[in-house]
Structure 1
């Protein structure tokens, strides 16, 4: 129970998963940050230089097969060098797929570098056309999430690392032109810093979850604009030996009356002791898991101990 459902067979650093059905098929595609867990180099260079990996399921999430990495996502000015791609958000709207990608030029070994969110479009999930970077609240933004709000606007939530690791939002009428809206959830020092916002509708409510690096903080709303904190989910370890660590950067796919939640862990990183980060290649390696979400009496309920071969994406 709660054993990993997927590990990247090349870099062994699958993180930040997002899952989408390929239109007109029975295929579910998982896009993820392909961290270079086994890479050498100074400082935090191992967490940079990452491509976007892809795995595919043809049995509603019961099993996943590695498909390779996404090509053509570099800034044209950076072609010919290794660059950093993080936390893809992939969705289908208005007849095409959209990807919102956290992008860093090159392979830095520290954190003090510009980070942008770049949008792409695709007809088929395979071939991507660059739309361009979004003008947001700073030049230090990552972790996009996009959702169709009940006010008729597309709304994009993201992490602003330059402003206390807080969550901000922008809006659009056409999914291509975005207007900054403002701060949604404060970060440090007013509130816990966080990352990886994800918004979805389930059980008659809208939900926003964010990764506080101690579990996922859950917020509830009736309009996707005003959020009330519920508490933490995923802060209690799973029963499998590979799922004893905090639930990190999650994505949610709603299927009827439940939702499948995809998250990753560092199975061999003792987060309580090694607070500066994973100390070696073994601790850097990651695993993707799934869990089930339901809503009971207006409360978001997580079932973490789900069999790895369960078809959670079956309708």
Structure 2
């Protein structure tokens, strides 16, 4: 009898040890990861390490989902960029503020889809700017360059001279030679992905079309020995890979096309950011939890307008990226030295 008890205890200890080894490092991320407490319309996230405060910051489009006075698509306009912060490596987030962007040429304006990078101690934001609050989509949009010493207060540097007057969703990446490349969405060319190059983040030269695909929110990163671009196809996320950051090969299928089972995660995933941490990578995305079928669902009610941020760990298998949003995601993001935005 004593021998059997010892054997049973040994098997239990082995099981506990095995489970501990299998559990990824980090803290379990909740579902949803973050909701905006002001308008409940968080979308288009981008993450960066705040060196001074030693926290992760998340910038996001702050759609006015709960504004009952908004008509047409005005609830997606009139937005300021929200900021959330995390002191535990990205597992839990709290609302911090809106970004103080020093560019207000008109009393009404719209800020969308920022991307933020750091270079030589200065933070650079590339922000989609719409000059007003509109009831439809038929108006100009441009990409602004802003700089900041603290990620809170932003100085206007320039409006980029890109291929047309309707451009959105910048994604900036440092090239192996130390120069910079920006991918963006050209709405006047079937919403194709275009790109521009810069030696210093201040002076940009448009290079034309990068990808003949209809989609938004391009996100470019390096992982597992190759470059990747993920774009929002409004029916899941399209994935493309490259060896030279110019020629892009499509991956069959789409990420986050099928609904998840977790709380507020039962709709397609949209416009993500990716943070690479060595051999691990994390996809931060937004969902409209009230749109359980397609992104074309009716947008008349609060449930359909509401959006929030989720996270899933990416995996590399057989030359492809995969993401199982129903598996638990454990997060402990290291500081900026491991941030994908300065790898080159």
TM-score (norm 1): 0.92
Aligned-residue offset at 1:294? 2.6
Greater share of residues in helix:
2
Name the residue aligned to 2:37.
9
Say if 1:296 and 1:73 are closer, same or farther in 2 by CA, change over 3 A.
farther
Whole-Å separation in 2 of the counterparts to 1:34 and 1:85: 8
Structure 1 stretches of 4+ moved >6 Å: none
Match of 1:311 among 317, 331, 337: 331
Cα pair 2:30 2:92 within 8 Å, conserved: no
**C-alpha displacement at 1:23, in angstroms?**
1.7
Residue number among 250, 253, 273 corresponding to 2:275 in the alignment: 253
1:98 aligned partner: 124
Q: Which residue, 47, 59, 73 being the options, matches 1:44?
A: 73
- Within 5 Å, give how 1:255-294 maps onto structure 2: 255-272=277-294, 275=296, 277-294=298-315
Matched-pair contact (CA < 8 Å) for 2:52–2:150: no
- Partners of 2:142 and 2:324 lie apart in 1 by 34
Question: How far apart are 1:2 and its partner, in Å?
Answer: 7.2
- For 1:225, the equivalent position in structure 2 comes to 246
Judging changes above 3 Å, is the alpha-carbon distance between structure 1 residues 271 and 83 closer, same or farther for their aligned structure 2 residues?
Answer: farther
Task: Give ranges in structure 2 of 5+ residues lacking alignment.
Answer: 1-28, 339-344
Deviations 1:224-257 (A, max 9, x none): 1111001311112222141110000000011111
- Aligned Cα RMSD in Å? 1.7
Gaps of 5+ in 1: 188-192
In structure 1, the residue matched to 2:59 is 31
Q: For 1:243, which of 262, 265, 271 is the aligned residue? A: 265
SS in 2 for 1:282: helix
Instruction: Please state how far the C-alpha of 1:213 moved relative to its aligned partner.
Output: 0.4
Partner SS, residue 171 of structure 1: strand
Describe how 1:50-61 pairs up with structure 2 within 5 A. Answer: 50-61=79-90
Q: How many residues align?
A: 305
